[in-house]
Structure 1
Amino acid sequence: MQFEKGCKGSELSYLCTLRFDEIEEASGPIPGVVKKLLKEFEDVMPDELPRKLPPKRALDHEIELVRGTKPPARAPYRMTQPELVELRKQLKDMLESGIIKPAKSPYGASVLFKKKADGSLRMYCDYRALNKITVKNKYPIPLVADWFDRLNQAKYFTKIDLRSGYWQVRIKEGDEAKTTVVTRCGAFEFLVMSFGLTNAPATFCTLMNQVLHGFLDEFVVVYLDDIVIYSRTLAEHVEHLRQVLARLHEYELYAKVSKCSFAQETISFLGHIVERGRIQMDPNKVQAIEEWQPLSDVHDLRSFLDLVNYYRRFVKDYSKIARPMTDLLKKTEA
Structure 2
Amino acid sequence: MESYSHLPQLSNGQLDSSKVQDAQLMKTKPNRGKGYTAGNSCITEVVIHNRPTKPLLDPGAFCSCVGELASDKEPLGVIIGHEVDIILNIERPYPPLLRRPAYPVSPKSREALETNIKELLDLGVIRKVGHNEEVERTTPVIVELHNGKSRMVGEFRALNTYTVPDRYPIPKIQIALTQISQEVLISTMDALKGFHQNVVTPRARKYLRIFVHCGVYEYLRMPFVIKNAPSHFQRMMNEIFPEEL
TM (norm. structure 1) is 0.53
Q: 1:169 aligns with which of 165, 188, 198?
A: 198
Matched-pair contact (CA < 8 Å) for 1:111–1:125: yes
| Cα deviation, residue 96, structure 1 | 1.8
| Cα deviation, residue 137, structure 1 | 0.7
| Cα deviation, residue 150, structure 1 | 2.0
Give the match's secondary structure for 2:151: strand
1-side partners of 2:176 and 2:79: how far apart? 31
Percent pairwise identity: 21
Unaligned runs of 5+ in 1: 6-12, 217-334
- Tell me which structure has the larger Cα radius of gyration: 1
Q: Does 1:69 align with 2:94?
A: yes
| Cα deviation, residue 14, structure 1 | 6.4
2-side partners of 1:69 and 1:121: how far apart? 32
Q: Does 1:95 align with 2:121?
A: yes
2-side partners of 1:119 and 1:89: how far apart? 14
| Cα deviation, residue 49, structure 1 | 7.3
Q: How does 1:80-229 map to 2 (within 5 A)?
A: 80-103=106-129, 104-216=133-245
2-side partners of 1:2 and 1:209: how far apart? 24
Unaligned runs of 5+ in 2: 1-28
Give the match's secondary structure for 1:91: helix
Corresponding residue of 2:80: 57
Q: 1:16 aligns with which of 40, 58, 64?
A: 40
Give the match's secondary structure for 1:207: helix
| Cα deviation, residue 79, structure 1 | 0.4
Question: 1:24/1:56 Cα in 2 relative to 1: closer, same or farther (>3 Å)?
Answer: closer
Give the match's secondary structure for 1:75: coil
Q: How does 1:34-45 map to 2 (within 5 A)?
A: 35=57, 39=61, 41-42=63-64, 44=66
2-side partners of 1:119 and 1:98: how far apart? 24
Question: 1:29/1:158 Cα in 2 relative to 1: closer, same or farther (>3 Å)?
Answer: farther
Give the match's secondary structure for 2:100: coil
2-side partners of 1:179 and 1:192: how far apart? 9
Amino acid corresponding to residue 125 of structure 1 in structure 2: G
2-side partners of 1:188 and 1:167: how far apart? 15
- Greater RCO (Cα-Cα under 8 Å, separation 6 or more): 2
Amino acid corresponding to residue 69 of structure 1 in structure 2: Y
1-side partners of 2:222 and 2:106: how far apart? 27
Give the match's secondary structure for 1:101: strand
| Cα deviation, residue 135, structure 1 | 0.9
Corresponding residue of 2:3: none
Give the match's secondary structure for 2:170: coil
| Cα deviation, residue 56, structure 1 | 5.4
Question: 1:98/1:4 Cα in 2 relative to 1: closer, same or farther (>3 Å)?
Answer: closer
Q: 2:104 aligns with which of 47, 68, 78?
A: 78
| Cα deviation, residue 105, structure 1 | 4.8
Corresponding residue of 1:250: none
Question: As a proportion of its length, which structure holds more helix?
Answer: 1
TM (norm. structure 2) is 0.71
1-side partners of 2:32 and 2:111: how far apart? 30
C-alpha distance after superposition, 1:214-253 (max 9, x if no partner): 332xxxxxxxxxxxxxxxxxxxxxxxxxxxxxxxxxxxxx
| Cα deviation, residue 116, structure 1 | 3.4
Corresponding residue of 1:308: none
